[in-house]
Copies of this chain bind each other. A is one copy, B any other.
């Protein structure tokens, strides 16, 4: 398959809701970066997380196998540090191969989940 995407992406909106009303991992409030790697090689992605009032965190490093997607939850990042809940953040992605990034949040703070999603900003 012909590769598709860009190597730099940005998501200005970031917020992990601190509460949940659903049961199980699927309904826990979370925020995800969905990464599509349509290359025939592994994509190595570095993520920097920016905040409003402190220095950035990272780089976080993830690998996406060839012809696979990784729905990465920001909640699951721990190395080099966790991202606090209930805190404004943003993120920048740098990959060694073209990828496509989509941002999604599931918010179940109130008793009926809410969703948002957008393709991230891909740098020219």
Contact = CB atoms under 8 A, between A and B. Distances in A.
Copies of this chain: 4
A13 B90 CA distance: 19
A9 to B, nearest CB: 8
A86 B71 CA distance: 13
A67 interface: yes
Interface in A24-45: 26-27, 32, 34-38
Chain A interface: which size bin? 35 or more
Given A113-B109, A115-B114, A118-B118, A36 B90 contact: yes
Interface of A: 1-2, 4-5, 8, 10-15, 21-22, 26-27, 32, 34-38, 48, 50-53, 55-56, 67-71, 86, 88-90, 92, 100-105, 107-123
Given A4-B121, A12-B69, 9 more contacts: A4-B8, A11-B36, A12-B100, A13-B34, A15-B71, A56-B67, A103-B117, A107-B113, A114-B114
